[in-house]
């Protein structure tokens, strides 16, 4: 949900870097295909008074995002001492391959 879902919404490095740049992120290329970013984003709801993301985007040989990894630190408005820290890793692969999705065993599928 970081940045309105923009952190994992696209396989396009250009689209993600555009989202980061529009949010005011500092983005630097650490090595070929590896981009470090840091950004503090406002929360329109006002529930989060400080929201900081620091991480890396790794672009694969196919010029698509292979991995997005970041640490998110959010301080909640309800208390100055209430801070949430998350470590998020999104790995993408198998672009274009068919996907078979099975419902969980305890779910009843109507119409079958």
Q: What span, in angstroms and rounded, lies between the C-alpha atoms of 75 and 108? A: 40
CA–CA separation, 7 vs 104, rounded Å?
Answer: 27
**pTM > 0.85: yes or no:** no
Tell me whether strands 26-31 and 34-40 are parallel, antiparallel or unpaired: antiparallel
Sequence ranges of the domains in the chain:
2-91
Per-residue pLDDT in tens (0 to 9) along the chain, 112 residues: 455 555 666 778 898 888 888 888 999 999 999 999 999 877 666 676 777 889 999 999 989 999 999 998 878 777 666 788 889 898 888 888 888 888 788 877 676 5
């Amino acid at each position: 949900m970081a940045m309105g879902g923009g952190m994992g919404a696209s396989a396009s490095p250009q689209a993600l870097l555009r989202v980061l740049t529009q949010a005011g992120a500092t983005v630097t290329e650490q090595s070929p295909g590896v981009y470090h970013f840091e950004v503090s984003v406002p929360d329109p709801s006002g529930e989060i008074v400080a929201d900081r993301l620091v991480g890396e985007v790794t672009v694969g040989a196919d010029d698509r995002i292979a991995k997005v990894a970041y640490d998110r630190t959010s301080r909640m408005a309800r208390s100055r001492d209430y801070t949430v820290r998350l470590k998020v890793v999104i790995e993408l692969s198998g672009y274009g391959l068919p996907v078979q999705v099975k419902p969980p065993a305890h779910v009843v599928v109507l119409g079958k």
